[in-house]
Amino acid sequence: MSYANDMITTAASADTAQGQSAKGSRGDAALPLAGDLRIAVMRLSRRLRAERAEVGLTLTQLSALASLERCGPTNPGHLASIERVQPPSMTRVLNGLVDQGLVARTAHPTDGRQVVVEVTEEARVRLRADRRRREAWLAKRLAVLDADERRALRAVVPILEELVSE
């Protein structure tokens, strides 16, 4: 058992577990949902990470590669802001990825002080393989659900996307 499995995370969740209704403002009513959702998403995320093939990359490197693939060629500072890390940290991440042949650096077309980074074809191949493996696991798990459960999950996807957008 894990810490997350054993712990009731909020006072509102504890009240709900004891049979008391969550009263008060709309925010108070959202507390039990927030705790339950956080734990469920955290467990799903952990399980999907466990399905990753050993590719010799850290989660930080994989995240940077995926962001770089998604946003296209950019400068390290922009990538750092996307990943919410400091530019020196992103420079270290990119150096490791360049050393492995997964990121290419080129001169910025208009600013000689800048460089542009982009994923290489090798990185695209690794990212696709990694996604296929995790999506295959998830598809297998979704296949055991009935049609109504799958429809409910499909309806939740845009809501989750809205929660994480800024």
Segment 50-77, tens digit of pLDDT = 888 777 888 899 999 999 999 999 999 9
- Residue 103 contacts residue 120 (beta carbons within 8 Å): yes
Instruction: Give me the CATH code for the 59-120 domain, please.
Output: 1.10.10.10
- Cβ-based neighbour number of residue 61 at 10 Å: 19
Q: pTM here? A: 0.69
> Residue 55 burial (CB < 10 Å; 0-12/13-18/19+)?
middle
In which residue ranges of the chain is CATH 1.10.10.10 found?
Answer: 59-120
Confidence of residue 12 (pLDDT cuts 50, 70, 90): very low
Who wins on pLDDT, 50 or 122?
122
Distances in whole angstroms, Cα of residue 35 to Cα of each of 5, 21, 58, 164: 12, 15, 28, 16
Backbone φ and ψ for 101, nearest 5 degrees, come out as: 75, 20
